[in-house]
Amino acid sequence: MVDDEIAVRRLVVTTLARDGMDLREAADGVEALERIAERRPDVIVLDLSMPVLDGFAVLERLHEEPETRSIPVIVLTARDVTPEERARLCHKTVALLQKSAYSAQELRRLVKEAAA
């Protein structure tokens, strides 16, 4: 789970922990890439708007490397995504969820499917 808002990270981790998943957190894109390099995750839940290195840059860096290119990424963002941004994301993510409109059940389902 990559998000600069600790409350969002806590909520998502609590939601996904119900399924017995091994979860790790990062507060920004730099920390996320460091953790991914330490141990490749099965799935990444990623915010787009973060300081230091945003979600778009994280996705670009993941796709530059063959060993991280295939990691499924679910974007969970409060950002109003433009059609151009949506097009950039469609080939690099498995789902795009709005923080104000997603359900815990939907997120759990998407993560389980992506990890399978």
In a domain, 1, yes or no: no
Instruction: Check residue 48 and give its pLDDT.
Output: 96
Q: Which residues make beta-bridge pairs with 74?
A: 45, 95
With left for phi above 0 and alpha for psi between -120 and 50, is residue 8 left, alpha or beta?
A: alpha
Q: Which two tokens stand for residue 103?
A: 């359900």
Count of domains for the chain: 1
User: What is the CB neighbour count within 10 angstroms for residue 12?
Assistant: 25
In a domain, 17, yes or no: yes
In a domain, 44, yes or no: yes
pLDDT digits (tens, 9 = 90+) for 26-78: 999 999 999 999 999 999 999 999 988 999 999 999 999 999 999 999 999 99
Whole-angstrom distance, CA of residue 7 vs CA of residue 106? 19
In a domain, 93, yes or no: yes
CA Rg, the chain, in Å? 13
In a domain, 30, yes or no: yes
Instruction: Check residue 113 and give its pLDDT.
Output: 92
pLDDT digits (tens, 9 = 90+) for 12-29: 999 999 888 889 999 999
In a domain, 85, yes or no: yes
Instruction: Check residue 31 and give its pLDDT.
Output: 97
Domain that holds residue 18: 6-115
Residue 17's CATH number: 3.40.50.2300
Cα distances (Å, whole numbers) of residue 98 to 41, 52, 74, 107: 22, 22, 11, 11
pTM: 0.93
Whole-angstrom distance, CA of residue 18 vs CA of residue 80? 29
